């Protein structure tokens, strides 16, 4: 069934072909996006809080703890943007979104930014009215099976039932991979993450496929993680990162450079614990600019010059955030694309100047 925005867009295009209306370039979701705040930063300041679209619950990335406090890698990224804007990382409201609802939530202005295990693709970048300011986690799609199945390779899944979420790159990648490898499978398509995981655990499907990070998170949350095996094949590129609405370059810059600030802090070995000391005594030129003592870089973003210092004090550098949330679920940086460029990885920030 077509969404209202798609119907509206097609109607306008039909009128344009008849010469009855001048047509701007509309993309799917544009009708919703037009209702969103035109100046995101001002709207956030007027509201007094950043509204962050996150996962409904994924270990290591975004999940409420036993006290209802949201924690995770994506949560700390939400907190970093709040720290940059307000100097207070607690000024965030989290909105859980599903794989299918996340883009509508952003387009409509229900959330200001998505930090929700979202893959940057050409079609999403161009046709949904969105921008992807950065990649904060390089991932790839994999498969998980129960150890008792005795499966050692994804190529042994011919004839299997495979659990997958709709509205994801995962669903498309699965179809492409199966066709390329002449593998027949029966999809079990379930929208909500907790329900698709429950279906896999209950045996409704032989395998579960999603980003390798999501598999590691799901495996770590099981009563006996060793009962589940993540198969060696990685069948796609999944550059994950924040998404914002197109047309607001200033807010996109804030989200982008908040990520870069965490990378440069790691490169300079500035941490949450030593940031105050670095502010007082570090004389390296880039450290002085990062911490707001020279350069007026914050003002260029429409922020206080202490914006990056506030991020580091609140959440730490990139390595600290990774170690706090992703290492415990079995994800490693060494010899991975998420290592710093100085250690053979892809995480790299432009100069702070």
- Six token digits for residue 227: 């009962």
Query: Is 25 a residue whose pLDDT tops 50?
Result: no
Give the residue-averaged pLDDT of 50-58.
96
For residue 116, what pLDDT is reported? Answer: 96
Query: Is 4 a residue whose pLDDT tops 80?
Result: no
Buried b (16+ CB within 10 A) or exposed e, 221-252: eeeeeeebbbbebbbbebbbbbbbbbebeebb
For residue 29, what pLDDT is reported? Answer: 44
For residue 35, what pLDDT is reported? Answer: 58
Residue 61 near residue 74, CB atoms below 8 Å:
yes
**Crossing angle of the two packed helices 73-86 and 249-267, in degrees rounded to 10:** 110
Q: Report pTM.
A: 0.86
Residue 90 near residue 82, CB atoms below 8 Å:
yes
Give the residue-averaged pLDDT of 275-289.
97
Give the residue-averaged pLDDT of 325-347.
96
For residue 222, what pLDDT is reported? Answer: 95
Question: How far, in Å, CA of 223 to CA of 89, rounded?
Answer: 33
Question: Quick check: helix, strand or coil at residue 115?
Answer: coil
Query: Is 14 a residue whose pLDDT tops 50?
Result: no
Going by C-alpha positions, the residue among 130, 89, 123 that lies closest to residue 109 is: 130
In this predicted model, what pLDDT tens digit does every residue of 286-325 receive, in sequence order? 999 999 999 999 999 999 999 999 999 999 999 999 999 9
- Six token digits for residue 346: 């892809």
Going by C-alpha positions, the residue among 152, 78, 282, 85 that lies closest to residue 290 is: 282
Q: Which of 17-31, 46-60, 306-320 has the lowest mean pLDDT?
A: 17-31
What domains are defined for the chain?
Answer: 1-34 (no CATH), 141-234 (3.40.190.10), 249-343 (no CATH)
Give the residue-averaged pLDDT of 44-71.
96
Strand partners, 53: 95, 114
């Amino acid at each position: 069934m077509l969404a209202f925005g798609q119907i509206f867009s097609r109607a306008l295009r039909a009128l344009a072909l008849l010469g009855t209306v001048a047509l701007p370039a509309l993309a799917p979701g544009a009708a919703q996006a037009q209702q969103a705040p035109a100046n995101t930063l001002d709207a956030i300041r007027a509201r007094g809080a950043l509204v962050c679209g996150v996962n409904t619950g994924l270990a290591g990335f975004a999940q409420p703890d036993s006290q209802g406090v949201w924690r995770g890698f994506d949560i700390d990224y939400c907190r970093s943007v709040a720290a940059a804007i307000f100097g207070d990382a607690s000024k965030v409201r989290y909105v859980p979104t599903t794989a299918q609802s996340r883009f509508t939530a952003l387009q409509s202005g229900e959330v200001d930014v998505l930090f929700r295990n979202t893959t940057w693709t050409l079609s999403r970048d161009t046709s949904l009215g969105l921008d992807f300011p950065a990649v904060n986690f390089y991932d790839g799609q994999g498969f998980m099976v129960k150890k008792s199945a005795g499966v050692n390779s994804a190529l042994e899944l011919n004839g299997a039932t495979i659990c997958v979420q709709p509205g994801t790159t995962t669903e498309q990648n699965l179809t492409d991979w199966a066709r390329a490898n002449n593998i027949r499978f029966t999809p079990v398509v379930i929208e909500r993450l907790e329900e698709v995981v429950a279906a896999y655990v209950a045996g409704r499907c032989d395998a579960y496929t999603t980003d390798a990070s999501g598999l590691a998170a799901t495996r770590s949350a099981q009563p006996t993680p060793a009962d589940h095996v993540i198969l060696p094949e990685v069948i796609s590129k999944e550059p994950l990162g924040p998404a914002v609405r197109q047309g607001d370059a200033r807010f996109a810059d804030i989200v982008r450079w908040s990520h870069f600030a965490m990378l440069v802090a790691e490169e300079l070995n500035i941490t949450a614990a030593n940031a105050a000391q670095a502010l007082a005594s570090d004389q390296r030129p880039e450290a002085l600019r990062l911490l707001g003592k020279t350069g007026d870089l914050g003002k260029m973003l429409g922020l206080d010059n202490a914006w990056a210092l506030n991020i580091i004090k609140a959440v730490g550098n990139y390595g600290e955030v990774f170690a706090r949330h992703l290492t415990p679920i079995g994800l490693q940086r060494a010899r991975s694309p998420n290592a710093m460029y100085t250690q053979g990885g892809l995480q790299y920030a432009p100069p702070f100047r």
